[in-house]
Structure 1
Amino acid sequence: MAPDPRLPSWVHWEQRPFPDANLLLLNGGRPALVDSGFVGHAQQTADWVHAHRARGLELVVNTHWHSDHVGGNALLQAAGAGIAASTPDACAIASRDPACCAAEYLDQPVAPYTVDVPLEDGQLLRLGSADWEVVSTPGHTPGHLALWQPEERLLVVGDALSDYDVGWVNLALDGREAAATAQASIQRLAILEPRVIMPAHGPIPADPKTAFAHAARRAQRLVDDPAGAVWYGMRRIFAFALMIRDGIPVDDAEAYLCARSWLTDAARILDTSPELLATDLVDAMLRVGAALVRDRRLHATAGHTSVPPAALVQPLPRDWAAYAWVEHDVHQ
């Protein structure tokens, strides 16, 4: 991919299809990577970093802990990189909370890792050859953060927004105010008036003001329509499950869904049964073209890359305490 002329020469950015997040490498005095993709493509992430870095990678900064953002952490940490994440995420990882990364809840595998550098709102963090400000942006997850480079007016937004949408919110886990919290985070980012927005998914928006205006409208809809927010989250989560598994047999899809905590939580909020909701979700995704049936398997239609089945076999966070960890000497 040719360098983006809007970015300084020391910023390397690559748009990646699902199930990965985009890659952002900041070269210079302290080479750093923002987010590390899905575990099934961890080696590809490491190879890309190796091809673009000026010297050894020192730090990986996670915008949040979902599987498509932290999947390369373990491999890069084993090679000597430190991991930085928001304090809420860092504390949960340190205590080996079974809910870490929502990996079990979402049925999305994550390889075990630790956090070396907890990050607070307003903290200055040296990445590459510039200082970046940590901006707390809860909503999509409670520990979500953004990164702001004021001299170049570069803004890394994670899943807070993209060129085409905003991040889904989990009203069951994070409370009914999660949509309003996400909306407030988007407003906080818009005030910065960035020159360039770098999202975790999709292209760099051509016009930041237009992207924020669209995100504001979309966020307001999630606030105004809690049931719609639940449905939006379900469609995103189930599509991801279909992507990483090369589809799910049609005959098994509803049983798979009924076994998922996120689906039973959604059924409770929507005042229906998991069985009815599972049927409705499959029907809805087929009806709007978000899924299709091929070779008697239900597949996601959004563009994505395949995942080796063996990569999905990862220990659950409840078992991470059994793993030995290497301490890193990482300075902020």
Structure 2
Amino acid sequence: MSRLASAGTLWPEITVLERGWLSANSILFAAPAGAAPAGAALVDTGYCTHAEQTLALVHAALDGQPLARILNTHLHSDHCGGNAALQAAWPQVHTAIAPGQAVQVRDWDEHALGYIPTGQQCPRFRVDATLEPGSEVSLGGRPWQIHAAPGHDPHSVILFEPEARLLISADALWEKGFGVVFPELDGEDAFAAVGATLDLIERLNPATIIPGHGPVFHHLAPALATARARLDGFVQSPLRHARHAAKVLIKYKLLEWQQIDQDGLQAWFETASTLVQLRTRHFSHAEPGAWLATMVDELVAAGAARREGERIYNA
């Protein structure tokens, strides 16, 4: 599911493309009157299997205006998977990414970028610049602050417009949580970085939050309370986070496939080194096939998947 979300209290230049969970939300900024040189800009571009849909949504929202800029809050495949298609449609589009991985993009190192280890796809795209924390970028004719937001991804940034107190929070804060803390899956300590980013968001005190997934929301305090409670649970039990992350990665692939048989899922699992290492690090007592079946069973029990014989379906 994708839809044009109501701008609500946002100004007219902003269109929020609220996407299904396989794709991140996209935020489109039309060029305001008299600001044509800056052109229209799109923050985050969805997953590659939704590229045709992304193009259609952006074309419809722009209503003939060219796309001048792409900005990526971070380079997870659901946030930048539409870059290549948009660059093909608008060859002159300028693409700026969160700092830290420009070399890997230019060399197209799919291992370092995490696409091969997670078993996900992302067509090669071009990078022209980086979004440097501590600086500003003009969007919709207004200056937006760029802030580093490590935790979910060590290179992620968030964007804040202080006059309207409007925050593009990416996966650092959702209305009911935040994204998987990927550095933890590689054995790095990153829960403290999640907490520091939540503290930063609290200091910014946004009145309106456009998250990476889910609807625009306006109530910061309960969202922070929910996120901090979840973070505390993960800090107390890293195993809980590992189990959650495994199911998220499997569910994400089910969203892409829609259905797969057990053998196909097992074959994919064996190529997704992030999952293999996660199981080895946290669940080494369990035989790989049985552990994978248990993760699927838990998704089924939660209503996030269903089984019919040997086939597993997204739900």
Q: Normalized against structure 2, the TM-score is what?
A: 0.89
Distance in 1 (CA, whole Å) between partners of 2:52 and 2:296 is 33
The answer for unaligned runs of 5 or more in structure 1 is 302-332
Q: What's the RMSD between the two structures over aligned residues?
A: 1.9
Shift of 1:89: 2.3
Identical aligned residues as a percent: 31
Structure 1 87/293 Cα, relative in aligned 2: closer, same or farther at 3 Å? same
2:81 to 50, 62, 71: 71
Q: How many positions carry a matched residue from both structures?
A: 301
* Paired position in structure 2 for 1:107: 119
Matches within 5 A, 1:257-268: 257-268=269-280
* Paired position in structure 2 for 1:306: none
Q: Does 1:42 align with 2:47?
A: no
* Paired position in structure 2 for 1:14: 17
* Paired position in structure 2 for 1:165: 177
SS of residue paired to 2:101? helix
* Paired position in structure 1 for 2:295: 281
Shift of 1:100: 4.4
* Paired position in structure 2 for 1:185: 197
Shift of 1:142: 1.3
Distance in 1 (CA, whole Å) between partners of 2:16 and 2:268 is 36
Quick one: which amino acid aligns to residue 47 of structure 2? F
The answer for unaligned runs of 5 or more in structure 2 is none
- Bigger relative contact order, structure 1 or 2, given CA contacts below 8 A and separation 6+? 1
Task: Please say if residues 299 and 305 of structure 2, whose CA atoms lie closer than 8 Å, have aligned partners that are also in contact.
Answer: yes
Q: Normalized against structure 1, the TM-score is what?
A: 0.85
Task: Please say if residues 73 and 156 of structure 2, whose CA atoms lie closer than 8 Å, have aligned partners that are also in contact.
Answer: yes
Quick one: which amino acid aligns to residue 198 of structure 1? I
Task: Please say if residues 154 and 194 of structure 1, whose CA atoms lie closer than 8 Å, have aligned partners that are also in contact.
Answer: yes
Shift of 1:160: 1.1
| TM-superposition CA deviations, 1:203-255 (whole Å, max 9, x none) | 11241221122112112222221111111111111001111012211343334
Task: Please say if residues 5 and 15 of structure 2, whose CA atoms lie closer than 8 Å, have aligned partners that are also in contact.
Answer: no
Distance in 2 (CA, whole Å) between partners of 1:210 and 1:173 is 27
* Paired position in structure 2 for 1:52: 61
Matches within 5 A, 1:1-332: 1=4, 3-28=6-31, 29=35, 30=38, 31-53=40-62, 55-78=65-88, 79=90, 80-171=92-183, 174-272=186-284, 273-294=287-308, 296-301=310-315
Structure 1 251/174 Cα, relative in aligned 2: closer, same or farther at 3 Å? closer
Task: Please say if residues 183 and 220 of structure 1, whose CA atoms lie closer than 8 Å, have aligned partners that are also in contact.
Answer: no
Task: Please say if residues 142 and 174 of structure 1, whose CA atoms lie closer than 8 Å, have aligned partners that are also in contact.
Answer: no
Shift of 1:271: 4.2
